[in-house]
Amino acid sequence: MKAGVDPETLRIVVEAASGRLLVHYDGRKQELAPEPDPATAIPADPAELKTCEALYLAGRHLEQYRHATYEPDAYYLEGLKRDPEDMRLNMAYGELLYRRGQFSDAEEYLRQAVKTATRHSPNPYDSEPLYYLGRVLDGQGKQDKAYDAYFKAAWSAAWQAPALFAVAQIDCRRGEYAFAFEHIERSLVRNVHNCRARNLKAYILRKLGLAAKAEAFARETLAIDPLDLGARYELAKALEAKSDKDAAQTMTDWAQTFTGREANVRLLSIDYYEAGDNEEALAVLGHAEMKTPLHYAYVAFYEDGLGRADKAQAAIQAMDAADATYCFPNTLMDLRALTRVAELVPQDARSRYFLGCLLYDKRRHTEAIELWGEAAKLAPDFPTVHRNLALGYYNVCHAPEKARAALEKAFALDTSDARVFMELDQLYQKIGMKPSERLALFEKHSDIVAVRDDLYVTYMTLLNLTGQHQKAYDLMMQRHFHPWEGGEGKITEQYVLALEALAQQDLAAGKAGAAVKKLTACLTYPENLGEGKLACAVENDVYYPLGCAYDKLGDKERAREAFEKATEGVSEPTSAMYYNDQPPESIYYQGLALRALGREGEALGRFHKLVDYGEKHVFDHVIMDYFAVSLPDFLVFEGDLDAANRIHCEFLMALGHAGLGDKAESQAMMQKVLAAEPAHIGAHAIAGSIR
């Protein structure tokens, strides 16, 4: 830009040769506008919402944005308690149950939604509940009733495309390809770019003996989406039906391009299964390069549908022998296939294990735990099923001892699994195992501790908790750490704690100069830790002892500066649930620094605030904040928020009483904290100085 040109007068326009605007930049200064209202939290208690509409919208929002801690069920059910005939609530809850594979339960709610919707007219303004009624009936094998529901759903323009697509699929299952062609054409009128529907049309044309038209239509689809694997497969099959010389090469090109990822092939096979063509579905599966247990489950399912029991049994045996490392069943079709495999072989552990994983994901926890329990009896040497049972026992059944036994067995079966060891240690921490006992296990399994940063950080934490600060510091300085979501601030916290503890040892030994060096090092994080310091980092715990060290050196000015810095920060106690919350110790150190500066009244104010907050909130019932996004721990095992709050408040009171000179009360409170949470980092760091 030329010198002297005012950017606010600049306007840049880029147009195509036709004159169509492509890019526009206007340098004019934007006028101030009012800020939009912030998002509103959905109440944790659905009863607080006043209307059924509010409950419906809350549930839909939670589903749409997959909220981490709130579930939609309670909102729908609260609304249905108030008005059992509400169409939208019945529809939403029925759809939710459908997506979880609970077809029979979903049918009840969807039928009520249809009944309400058709109260005054057989043709409702919105036929969504009719479409989903068709889905759940289809899922239960009630094909004729599903057909009627789909057809009725097609009355509404909004649902014609998916409803008539489903109708055409059932026509194909019945072998009525002329009807199927008529219905798929009507579906495409409403959504001509639906590639699944387009591929079904190409398939129907093949079945009607119109291979040339099938080829032409498949090429049209590829013009819309060149990467659609179904269209390329249909093109190859159409050429094959014409005995075209390019048929074999087209199929080879398709297989080389799309079959490396087994899920691609499996998903395409489902389209043919839903059109009633198990042979074609098997042909598609035959092209898969990587064959997971789920691949063989589908083969068994399709073979069983064709009445070929021997081949189905052979596929199940192959499923049991296949590598399950990256097999994660999650769809309703996976549920259908695995359920049938489990029915075919009542003694098959693998299918029950996979079904348990799928149902746990669908929030069907009790059924999942039962299936895992069956799998564990059938295959007692399979580590992962015991690991999964541990999660279910702790988080769902609230049986920590059963969880411990299951997870210990899982690790005993495979002591090379660092992930399971991490989870086992988290469980030990939850149930109150002493840090020294946990540390002994870490040193026994040092080979796998070194594999994961999260385990290594825990190792550093345990060393600090057991007073081995120099070893913790030396080891962490030898490793390059990589930050991970949920682990922010953990290694830097241990770095600071180790140096602070070593500095306190120096001060006790009369080595104030050495203490200053260590405490000054706390203010800058080494590059190998992989994390920088937050702009809002609170370092009262560093500046107060730094002031003490300078004071012992006789450097009164630097001591005063350090004490002044130690007084900074928020002085009102709060909960400390999230990563960037101010730790409660900061207010304690503010008070000590104020006392060192001779401002005793302000110091006492800080200490009284700690005691007052603890006494006022110790019995609070705590719920997860709706907008919580930065929890301090990776939650494998769910915590008791009320218990965590009680420990936090008792810790605040211990700090406050210490500052007020009531050491007996402070020590009693600190012992309660450590009894409830033996690995409480703050309590370990400060308890010694209180004594």
What HEC string does 569-600 produce?
Answer: CCCCCCCCCCCCCCCCHHHHHHHHHHHHCCCH
Q: What is the pLDDT of residue 456?
A: 97
Check pLDDT > 70 for residue 634.
no
Span 606-614, mean pLDDT? Answer: 96
For residue 11, which phi and psi values (nearest 5 degrees)? Answer: -140, 125
Structure tokens at 624: 């997860």
Which CATH code of 1.25.40, 1.10.3470, 3.30.2010, 1.10.287 fits the domain covering 453-560? 1.25.40
Span 253-261, mean pLDDT? Answer: 83
pLDDT band at 579 (very low <50, low <70, confident <90, very high): low
pTM of the model: 0.91
> CA 512 → CA 516, 542, 548, 562, 618, distances in Å?
6, 14, 9, 14, 39
Span 461-468, mean pLDDT? Answer: 97
Q: What is the pLDDT of residue 604?
A: 97
Check pLDDT > 90 for residue 345.
yes
> CA 2 → CA 7, 23, 635, distances in Å?
10, 21, 56
Q: What is the pLDDT of residue 449?
A: 97
585 vs 493: CA distance, rounded Å:
13
pLDDT in tens, 8-23: 777 888 988 888 988 9
128 vs 642: CA distance, rounded Å:
42
493 vs 495: CA distance, rounded Å:
5
pLDDT band at 322 (very low <50, low <70, confident <90, very high): very high
Least confident of 16-30, 279-293, 308-322: 16-30
Q: What is the pLDDT of residue 582?
A: 79
Residue written as token pair 């059910």: 77
pLDDT band at 358 (very low <50, low <70, confident <90, very high): very high
Domain residue limits, the chain: 453-560, 567-691
442 vs 390: CA distance, rounded Å:
20
Check pLDDT > 90 for residue 649.
yes
Check pLDDT > 90 for residue 78.
yes
Region of 379 on the Ramachandran plot (φ > 0 left; ψ -120 to 50 alpha; else beta): beta
Q: What is the pLDDT of residue 6?
A: 76
Q: What is the pLDDT of residue 691?
A: 57
Q: What is the pLDDT of residue 301?
A: 98
Span 298-324, mean pLDDT? Answer: 97
As a whole number of Å, the end-to-end CA separation of the chain is 69
- Report which DSSP code applies to 682: H
